[in-house]
Amino acid sequence: MKRLSFSIILILLIIASSDAPQAKVSGECSNCHTMHNSQAGASMATYGGFGDAPFSSLVRGNCLGCHGQDPSGSEYVTLGQKIPQVYHTTGETDLAAGNFKHIITDDAYGHNVDLLTGYAEDILTEPPGDENDTGITTDLTCAGTKGCHGDRATLGNFDSIKGAHHAGVSGLCNIADTVANSYRFLLGVKGHENMDATYPWQNRTAIIHNEYYGVSSRGSEGGISSPGSNSISGLCAECHGNFHGPGTDDITIGSASPWLRHPTDIVLTSDGEYASYTTYSTTAPVARSTVYATINTSTTNDVVAPGTDIIMCLSCHGAHATGNYKLMRWDNKANMSGCVVCHTSKS
């Protein structure tokens, strides 16, 4: 009887978790790979319509091929799993990092990766706020030496992220010493991915959202493969260091009020107007000094603790693309909806 009960419980758990999104891919190899790019005398499907096969690593599409729709919105790859859609025109809510479609359809702002044919970055002299010579002026990529994901010491989307999809973890990423166990395959970045089965990878509600790891001082920016203090802001600082935390340069923000630039990697003040930001906002999210090990099931996720939680780059900005100037999460030229989340008395 005990053995039967255990079997029933196990089956129920498997059923309950079968639709949950996983960073680690599973299923038939042919879902993603093709040996010769040929089937019945025709080219294998090029997922998403981005680029021409064959692709490296024997895959059937490039990054946007699996993580986006084609420009008409007619294709959406599921493969039996929920795949984060970084480029979509219909049927999806934008991910926490934004949506590359804003660059094309709205003539808006973001990181113009080279896979966006006809819209790739070609006028950049250097990343804004770059205090180092990164050598990045054109041809931004999703991953690798000119991108954010994967091993940023390795050239190319495929080579820099190689193997991560097969070994990826789900949810909490608190080690971050490989691409696979780092938050969103951002090598060295800690955090917790929203793994809610209905709204994966989206910042949807005060409880259902990604959890970002932050630190309360700038610290070291780290190298190209290790962001400062394993934080998401430390990753941004690899290209935008002059916008990030206190420094010795006269164009940085300094280390105390009055600020010259908006502070990042600083604890949200626990008095005055800031003390009233106590319920998590997906409009202006905060980072955590300790990332919750469990999300989407605990009401502690909707709590903000002034004096403990941290202002980060992504409190104000998206990462891929948004419909707002300077990749802002809200239209700060038209309203203060995001500003007043922290600056409550300014509403």
Q: What is the pLDDT along the chain (347 residues), one digit of tens a residue?
A: 545 444 444 333 333 343 445 567 877 888 888 888 877 777 776 666 677 778 888 888 889 888 887 666 654 455 556 778 888 887 777 888 999 989 888 777 899 898 887 888 777 778 887 877 777 877 889 999 999 999 999 999 999 999 999 987 778 899 999 999 999 999 999 999 888 877 777 888 898 899 999 988 765 566 666 788 899 998 998 888 877 755 455 444 545 667 777 888 889 999 999 999 999 999 999 999 988 877 777 778 899 999 999 999 999 999 999 999 889 999 988 889 999 999 999 87
> Strand pairing partners for 267?
310
What is d(CA 102, CA 325) in angstroms, rounded to the nearest whole number?
Answer: 11
What is d(CA 239, CA 127) in angstroms, rounded to the nearest whole number?
Answer: 6
For residue 61, give every residue at least 6 positions away whose Cβ sits within 8 Å of its Cβ, in sequence order, or none. Answer: 45, 46, 47, 48, 50, 51, 53, 55, 77
What is d(CA 244, CA 328) in angstroms, rounded to the nearest whole number?
Answer: 16
Tell me the per-residue pLDDT of 189-235, one tens digit each, with 9 for 90 and over. Answer: 999 988 887 777 788 889 889 999 998 876 556 666 678 889 999 89
What is d(CA 295, CA 192) in angstroms, rounded to the nearest whole number?
Answer: 8
Contact 309, 286 (CB under 8 A): yes
For residue 181, give every residue at least 6 positions away whose Cβ sits within 8 Å of its Cβ, in sequence order, or none. Answer: 167, 168, 169, 173, 175
Strands 287-288 and 211-213: parallel
What is d(CA 148, CA 236) in angstroms, rounded to the nearest whole number?
Answer: 9
Give the 3-state secondary structure of the chain: CHHHHHHHHHHHHHHHHCCCCCCCCCCCHHHCECCCCCECCECCCCHHHCCCCCCHHHECCCHHHHCECCCCCCCCCCCCCCCCCCECCCCCCCECCECCHHHHHCCCEECCECCCCCCCCCCCCCCCCCCCCCCCCCCECCECCCCCEECCCCCCHHHHCCCHHHHCCCCEECCCCCCCCCHHHECCCCEECCCCCCCCCCCCCCCCCCEEECCCCCCCCEECCEEHHHCHHHHHHHHHHHHCCCCCCCCCCCCCCCCCCCCCCEECCCCHHHHHCCECCCCCCCEECCCCCCCCCCHHHHECCCCCCEECHHHCECCCEECCHHHECCCCCCCCCCHHHHCHHHC
Residue 64: how many CB atoms within 10 A of its CB? 23
Strands 266-267 and 172-173: unpaired
What is d(CA 169, CA 165) in angstroms, rounded to the nearest whole number?
Answer: 9
Contact 249, 255 (CB under 8 A): no
Strands 226-227 and 222-223: antiparallel
Domain ranges in the chain are 168-347
Nearest to 48 by CA among 74, 26, 25: 74
